[in-house]
Amino acid sequence: MITYIIIIVAIALIFDFANGFNDAANSVATIVATRVLTPRLAVLWAAFFNFVAAFFFETHVAATISKGIVDQAVVDPHLILAVLLSAITWTVLCTFRGLPISVSHSLIGSMIGAALVKAGLGSLKWAKIGEISVYIVVAPFIGLALGWILMVATMWICRKKTPRGVDGWFRRLQLVSAGAFSLSHGLNDAQKTMGIIMLLLLSNPALAQYATIDGTNTGHPRWWIILSCHFAIALGTYLGGWKVVHTLGHRVTKLQPVGGFCAETGGGVTIIGLSALGIPLSTTHTITGAIFGVGLTRRLSAVRWSVGGKIITAWVLTLPAAAAMAAMFYWIIAKLVY
């Protein structure tokens, strides 16, 4: 059983890597699109901030994943393995199709599907699931609103400046905003994998001491979990998912450095604020909304709504598709693994 759990921990880190691989676009699409950094330097910049986020924030999101969605009593290694296989499969499929889906929602959908097929409706904590579901809808609109507000305010402040001068300043400032967004990405998304690993280890009394400092589901995760999760997501970001980068950075709307700065800042503020509340929100939804908000300050036609429609379709499909896939994986694993 110990070996089985160690293998599942390794698979969790693969999921974390896939998360960074898909969500590389969130961190670097705007800075690549505006040509502030080359693609390789951009992903290195983003990966660095993904990792250092480990040292600056509390682990509220990890706590939500480990104790806020599924009743601890129904969790076992089979269930966690089914969740991870489903989330990885859906993430990889969408990444290679160039769709910036929510890795977060694929994970949450998978947890719901696996728990339902194992123990029914009573195994889920519906109040917290309802809260998270609200932010599935709200988060991109918060990002859109902040991106729009920041862009309008910036245009007013810089109205008497020359375009060349504004471009020069914001090319420098975008390095700061891209770093801040990458920090927020590492903060929220790495903690989701932390929560899964904690949930897995806490399901086995002999291993609970390796999950948290005090060995309970209310404790702080151990540093080996924090550092390994941040390293895996940073590595995934560094290797990057370039089809998704192209979708967000080039196909949604045309961005200049000032627009990239406003989108990244609006997205980063939203993610850091909601992470402090323990909300495992979608960084993909948030930055996409912020990019749309920036584009809308020019005119409605500045945004390619057909691309937005495809992205929204992927968002809508993620929860039910991941849930169904996890249910299937759990049924197979429960039959084959003893």
Distance of alpha carbon 51 from alpha carbon 27, whole angstroms: 13
Q: What digits encode the pLDDT tens for the residues 18-67? A: 888 777 666 676 677 667 777 778 788 888 999 999 888 888 899 999 88
Interval 225-266: pLDDT, tens: 999 999 999 998 888 655 555 555 545 455 677 888 888 899
Q: How far apart are CA 123 and CA 20, in angstroms?
A: 30
192-218 tens-digit pLDDT:
999 999 999 999 888 988 988 876 767
Burial class (CB in 10 A: 0-12, 13-18, 19+), 235: middle
- d(C-alpha 28, C-alpha 40), whole Å: 10
Of the ranges 3-7, 99-103, 158-162, 164-168, the best mean pLDDT one: 3-7
Task: Please write the tens of the pLDDT for every residue from 120-170.
Answer: 999 999 998 898 888 877 888 999 999 999 999 988 888 777 777 777 788
Give the phi and the psi of residue 102 in degrees, each rounded to 5.
-90, 110
CA 169-170-173 angle, to 5 degrees, is 95
Residue type, 182: S
Pick the most confident of 236-240, 272-276, 324-328: 324-328
Per-residue confidence band for 326, with pLDDT thresholds at 50, 70 and 90: very high
CA distance 281 to 284: 9
What confidence score (pLDDT) does residue 7 get? 95
Question: What are the sequence ranges of the domains in the chain?
Answer: 2-336
Identify the bridge partners of residue 212 per DSSP, sorted by sequence position: 221
* pTM for this entry: 0.86
- pLDDT tens digits along 165-198: 777 788 788 888 888 888 888 889 899 999 999 9
Q: Which residue has the tokens 């169904």?
A: 324
CA atoms of 105 and 131, how far apart (whole Å): 13
Q: Exposed, middle or buried, 207 (CB in 10 Å: 0-12/13-18/19+)? A: middle
